[in-house]
Amino acid sequence: MDGSEAPSSAPTRRVLAAAADLRAAPVGVFDSGIGGLTVLRELRAALASERFTYLGDTARLPYGTKSPATVARYAVQAADALVEYGVKCIVVACNTACALGLEAIRERVAPVPVIGVIEPGARAASGATRSGHIAVIATEGTVRGGAYQEAIHRLRPDARVTAVATQLFVALAEEGLSEGPVAESVIRHCLAPLYTAAPPAPDTLVLGCTHFPVLATPIRNVVGAQVRIVDSAATTAHVVRTELTAAGLVREEGAGGVRFLATDGAERFARVGSRFLGASIAPEEVELIDL
Amino acid sequence: MDGSEAPSSAPTRRVLAAAADLRAAPVGVFDSGIGGLTVLRELRAALASERFTYLGDTARLPYGTKSPATVARYAVQAADALVEYGVKCIVVACNTACALGLEAIRERVAPVPVIGVIEPGARAASGATRSGHIAVIATEGTVRGGAYQEAIHRLRPDARVTAVATQLFVALAEEGLSEGPVAESVIRHCLAPLYTAAPPAPDTLVLGCTHFPVLATPIRNVVGAQVRIVDSAATTAHVVRTELTAAGLVREEGAGGVRFLATDGAERFARVGSRFLGASIAPEEVELIDL
């Protein structure tokens, strides 16, 4: 993490030269919408005194079915906005944006550190599997981008990775159909390709979309107790804490807090987002911005 | 229909003064994405020699969960684009855009005639119900906008209207989960509010989203044979044919055709859209434009 280097090449307004100022600055979290609130939930649990600025690009969601060039362009615009808000690092809490835009974001906002959700998930999965067969479920864009497959193979070249696009899970999570027999029947249907492939069946399942932790219970019921489920929200929060600690940038004292920014629909952001964050958000807490 | 009036106040390039030129001009069809292709399918069946210009705003879908002001703004931009392409009338084949933007579109493109999907659906439902209890299923935006409820009450003030947001159906249709027991279990779950309300149960069900005709079979299996299902795609095509005929603007001869315009993702538009259109679309047929 290089956020404490001289920011001579950094954009205007980011003049956080002293480490103390940097420590006090918020952590930026960005997602295409509300899914990243599952990552924010874990970040708040891991870094209780930290302040967060969460940006959901709700006017342009979903990223999961958009073309790679468009996703990368949107992601860079969102990262730019967070830098303008003076964040000390950026967590890209959207798998699709990571899969298709992480390098472009890093290039754009350097030297601000950028942490994605894919690398931590890939690392956890590579460490967890015994059979060597890892399943990844994600949006269409993430699966097609191949970033999880590549990240896992960099860490464990002999691993077999089966990636399945489960776009319907996003709708299940957003519509609150996140438990019970109906949710399980959809999940069973969508996960069938994992079990019709040649054995052995995958022993590790990566939730490669930040919406999916909301469905952890029915997914567990479908895949059974023997499968290790890797939640990229939790693993990413762990990595952010480790990296901020190593750089001496953790805010140690004071009450934490969140500033919510969205590009459309404060009411829906608050209503649906509260389920993802696991804490109530009031519509008037959500500031609308343009990207 | 007033498309044959002198276009003195019309935008540049729309100089289709003579009726013959107007007859030869394409019919513009606009949707937030691919759902409107179910309307186009019915339009092609009803008007075989007509040429169509279909615009799907795929970069900014879904409209169904966006705020009213944003939807209206996007819808007007799309209508503007179709006028630039020289269409003789505009079919707003997106219930959400109709519910939230029809008046704004009409004002903007006058005197180009604009036909929405809500009025025809409301008319068909009002004529079909015997019990007076009509169910409308639609996106969140359409239900909240209340346009179906208002349109039905204008025609039949004594009608009881139960509107239910079934946002999940959009995902079912797009992901191709459009038949079988899993689709039916989701549909049964989402339609439960219709049957837990005070009796009598609705005897007429309006498919108030252009994605939903793709799910007609499992919806029929869930609601039973006694319920009249009103498909706004079919009813809208009928209205367009009637209005074009009355205005003497039907193209009577020659092979029909479709020009496909989209704002993102030609590959997905072609792949998923083919199911909605009921005919194959090649990715190279889809022209990408900016709005």
Check pLDDT > 60 for residue B14. Answer: no
Give the active site residue among B89, B98, B190, B209: B209
Residue type, B48: A
The reply to whether residue A264 touches residue B60, judged by beta carbons under 8 angstroms, is: no
**Shortest Cα distance from B267 to chain A (angstroms)?**
9
B186 and B216 in one domain?
yes
Same domain, A206 and A195: yes
CATH number at residue B31: 3.40.50.1860
Would residue B273 be called left, alpha or beta, if left means φ above 0 and alpha means ψ between -120 and 50 degrees? alpha
Q: Over the stretch A54-91, which tens digit does the pLDDT of each residue have? A: 999 999 888 988 889 999 999 999 999 999 999 999 99
pLDDT value at residue A10:
57
Closest CA to A35 of A52, A51, A50, A56: A56
Of A214, A232, A250, the position where a domain reaches its end is A232
Q: Do B189 and A168 touch (CB under 8 A)?
A: no
B16 pLDDT above the threshold of 50: no
Mean pLDDT of B21-42: 95
Region A145-170 average pLDDT: 96
In a shared domain, residues A110 and A137: no
Three-state DSSP class for A146? coil
First to last CA, chain A: 27
A241 in a structural domain: yes
Residues B129 and B222 in one domain: yes
Q: Which residues of chain A does B66 touch, with a Cβ-Cβ cutoff of 8 Å?
A: 58-59, 264-265
Residue-range definition of the domain harbouring residue A86: 19-116+235-288
pLDDT in tens, A240-262: 999 999 999 999 899 999 999 99
Partner residue opposite A66 with nearest CB, options B172, B186, B265: B265
Entry field: residues in chain B: 291
* Closest Cβ opposite residue A185 in set B171, B174, B182: B182
Residue in B62, B186, B264 nearest the CB of A67 = B264
Residue B270 lies in a domain: yes
Is B289 an interface residue toward A (CB < 8 Å)?
no
What's the mean pLDDT in A194-211? 91
Q: Sorting pLDDT into bands at 50, 70 and 90, what band is A9?
A: low
A175/B189 Cβ within 8 A: no
Tell me: do B244 and B213 sit in the same domain.
no
CB contact under 8 A, A60 and B65: no
Instruction: Render pLDDT for B134-173 as a digit per residue (tens, 0 to 9).
Output: 999 999 999 999 999 999 999 999 999 999 999 999 999 9
**Residue B228 shares a structural domain with residue B243:** no
Query: Which pLDDT value is given to residue B3?
Result: 45
- Kindly state the average pLDDT of the residues A7-17: 51
Query: Which pLDDT score, from 0 to 100, does residue B65 have?
Result: 83
Task: Return the pLDDT at B9.
Answer: 55
Q: Scanning every residue of chain B, which has its alpha carbon at the shortest distance from the alpha carbon of A67? A: B265
Mean pLDDT, chain B, integer: 92
Q: Scanning every residue of chain A, which has its alpha carbon at the shortest distance from the alpha carbon of B188?
A: A182
Distance from CA of A267 to the nearest CA of B (A): 9
**Contact with chain B for residue A171, Cβ under 8 A:** yes
Cα distances (Å, whole numbers) of residue A70 to A65, A105, B79: 10, 13, 23
Mean pLDDT of chain A: 92
Residues of chain B contacting residue A65, judged by C-beta atoms under 8 Å apart: 265, 268
Same domain flag for B185 and B131: yes
> How many angstroms separate the CA atoms of A106 and A122, rounded?
19
Residues B228 and B262 in one domain: no
Any domain includes B193: yes
Decide if A114 contacts A92 (C-beta within 8 A).
yes
Nearest residue in chain A measured CA to CA from B288: A67
Q: How far is A60 from chain B (nearest CA, A)?
A: 6
Q: How confident is the model at residue A28 (pLDDT cuts 50, 70, 90)?
A: very high
Q: Considering only A167-171, A224-228, B19-23, B199-203, which range has the smallest mean pLDDT? A: B19-23
Q: What is the average per-residue pLDDT within B183-207?
A: 93
Chain A and chain B share a number of CB contacts under 8 A equal to: 64
Average pLDDT over residues B104-119: 96
Instruction: Note whether A172 contacts B: Cβ–Cβ < 8 A.
Output: yes
Q: Which of A11-25, A115-129, B4-18 has the highest mean pLDDT?
A: A115-129
A182 inside 8 A of chain B by CB: yes
Q: Is residue B15 predicted with pLDDT exceeding 60?
A: no
* Partner-chain contact A59 B65, CB within 8 Å: no
Q: What are phi and psi of B236, to 5 degrees?
A: -65, -40
Whether residue A14 is contained in a domain is answered as no
- Write the ipTM: 0.83
* Residues of chain B found within 8 Å of residue A174, distances taken between Cβ atoms: 167
B218 and B245 both lie in a single domain? no
pLDDT at position A198: 82
pLDDT confidence of B177, banded at 50, 70, 90? very high
Whether A3 is in a domain gets the answer: no
Q: Tell me the HSE value of B215 on the side-chain side, using a 13 A CA sphere.
A: 33
Question: For residue B20, what pLDDT is reported?
Answer: 76
Phi/psi at A51 (5° precision): -100, 140
Q: Does B185 contact A189 at a Cβ distance shorter than 8 Å?
A: no
Under the banding of pLDDT at 50, 70 and 90, the label for residue A18 is: low
Number of domains in chain B: 2
B189 inside 8 A of chain A by CB: yes
- How many CB atoms are located within 10 Å of the residue A145 CB? 22
pLDDT bin (cut points 50, 70, 90) of residue B5 is very low
Task: Enumerate residues 6+ apart whose C-beta is below 8 A from A142.
Answer: A64, A95, A96, A98, A99, A148, A165, A208, A209
Domain assignment present for A175: yes
What's the confidence (pLDDT) of residue A191? 96
Q: Are residues B184 and B284 in the same domain?
A: no
- Please name the member of B65, B67, B189 whose beta carbon is closest to the beta carbon of A182: B189
Q: Is B171 on the interface with A (CB under 8 A)?
A: yes
Min Cα–Cα distance to chain B from A66, Å:
6
Give residue B282's identity as a one-letter amino acid code. Answer: A
Residue type, A70: T
Of A67, A189, A267, which is closest to B265 when you measure between CB atoms?
Answer: A67
pLDDT score of B196: 83
pLDDT for res A3? 44
Taking the Cβ of residue B69 and every Cβ of chain A, the question of whether any pair is shorter than 8 Å is answered with no
**pLDDT mean over A108-116:** 96
Note whether A265 contacts B185, CB cutoff 8 Å: no
| Burial per residue of B89-117, b for 16 or more beta-carbon CB atoms within 10 angstroms, e otherwise | bbbbbbbbbbbbbbebbbebbebbbbbbb
CA of A146 vs chain B CAs: smallest distance (Å) = 17
| Same-domain status, B263 and B185 | no
Backbone angles phi, psi at A262, to 5 degrees: -145, 160
Q: Are residues B81 and B219 in the same domain?
A: no
* Catalytic positions of A, written as ranges: 94, 209
Q: What six digits make up the tokens of A93?
A: 């809490």
Does B60 contact A at CB distance below 8 Å? yes
pLDDT for A196 equals 83
Residues of chain A contacting residue B265, judged by C-beta atoms under 8 Å apart: 65-67, 70
Q: Do A268 and B65 touch (CB under 8 A)?
A: yes
Using alpha carbons, select from B52, B101, B98 the residue that is nearest to residue B277. Answer: B52
Across the interface, of B59, B171, B189, the residue whose CB is closest to A171 is B171
Whether residue B12 is contained in a domain is answered as: no
**Which residue of A170, A177, A189 is in closest CB contact with B182?**
A189
**What is the per-residue pLDDT for B2?**
47
pLDDT at A17 over 60: no
Residues A276-289: what's their mean pLDDT?
97
Alpha-carbon distance A86 to A90, whole Å? 10
The answer to whether residue A2 is domain-embedded is no
- Contacts for B166 with CB less than 8 Å, ≥ 6 apart: B137, B138, B187, B190, B191, B209, B212
Identify all chain A residues contacting B171, using CB atoms and an 8 Å cutoff.
Answer: 167-168, 170-171
Sequence length of chain A is: 291
B197: confidence class by pLDDT, cuts 50, 70, 90: confident
pTM: 0.87
Contact A175 B167 (CB under 8 A): yes
CA angle (A258 as vertex; A255, A263 as ends), nearest 5 = 170
DSSP chain B: --TTS--TTSPTT----SHHHHHHSPEEEEESSSTTHHHHHHHHHH-TT-EEEEEE-TTT---TTS-HHHHHHHHHHHHHHHHHTT-SEEEE--HHHHHHHHHHHHHHHTTS-EEESHHHHHHHHHHH-SSSEEEEEE-HHHHHHTHHHHHHHHH-TT-EEEEEE-HHHHHHHHTT--SSHHHHHHHHHHHHHHHHSSSSPPSEEEE-STTGGGGHHHHHHHH-TTSEEEEHHHHHHHHHHHHHHHTT----SS--EEEEEESS-HHHHHHHHHHHHTS---GGGEEE---
Average pLDDT over residues B184-195: 94
B94 noted as active-site residue: yes
Position B48 scores a pLDDT of 95
